[in-house]
Amino acid sequence: MKNISIFCGAHEGKNPEYASAAKSVAKSIAKKGINVVFGGGNVGLMKIISDTALDNGVKVLGISLKSLHALELANPRLDEIVVSETLLDRKDEFMSRSDAFIVLPGGVGSLDELAEIMASNQLGIINKPVGILNTEGYYDYLLKWFNKAVDEGFISPSNLQELLVSDSPEELVEMITNHQRPSDENWTARLGL
């Protein structure tokens, strides 16, 4: 595994544990010599992720959106910055340049990125681990919704089982780096289609 994308907020949030968890995730990834891919902003949890990863000796790639690039001002220390025209282009860059994905607390953008990765895994477009860091129970309601969608037959149990979840940054990084996803040669059977 060479690169892990981290999706997170352009704000730090009200609870200081979010910033602490972001630092721990970046340090844990760097300890394994894995590079970090993130949203490119020099604000909020994104800034904490990029600064911590750079301070711990790994390469950092920012993937920004043209409309946000000037506002969020990329960290000048980044090894590389890609500026995408559209959200779809940006998510394609994340998927092509990353071996796994971790979602930290964030807003609608983080939720959009999570949904895109999960749907792409479900449809066999990619086959890469994805995990949620559930700091202070931030994603409890989303996880409850996922389980309701499984119970109601809208999400296959096997697809949800592939979503890795932990409230420990170190444990989640271990889960992501050690996870073996199922072969996607027959993803339609896996989904019961």
Q: How many domains does the chain have?
A: 1
Report the distance separating Cα 183 and Cα 169, nearest Å: 27
Sign of the torsion formed by the C-alpha atoms of 165, 169, 174 and 177: positive
Closest among 41, 46, 93 to 68, alpha carbons compared: 41
Average pLDDT on 9-38 reads 98
Average pLDDT on 141-149 reads 98
Q: Would the pLDDT of 12 be above 80?
A: yes
More confident site: 145 or 122: 145
Closest among 44, 49, 48 to 6, alpha carbons compared: 49
Q: Would the pLDDT of 182 be above 80?
A: no
Q: What is the mean pLDDT of the chain?
A: 93
Contact by Cβ (8 Å): 126, 117: yes
More confident site: 155 or 105: 105
Task: Write the CATH number for 145.
Answer: 3.40.50.450
Q: Would the pLDDT of 133 be above 90?
A: yes
Average pLDDT on 99-103 reads 99
Report the distance separating Cα 100 and Cα 162, nearest Å: 12
Average pLDDT on 114-126 reads 93
Give the pLDDT of residue 191: 62
Range of the domain at 40: 3-190
Give the pLDDT of residue 117: 97
Give the pLDDT of residue 124: 87
Average pLDDT on 109-135 reads 95
Q: Would the pLDDT of 189 be above 90?
A: no
If pLDDT is split at 50, 70 and 90, which confidence band does 192 have?
low
Average pLDDT on 71-97 reads 91
If pLDDT is split at 50, 70 and 90, which confidence band does 27 have?
very high
Q: Would the pLDDT of 184 be above 70?
A: no
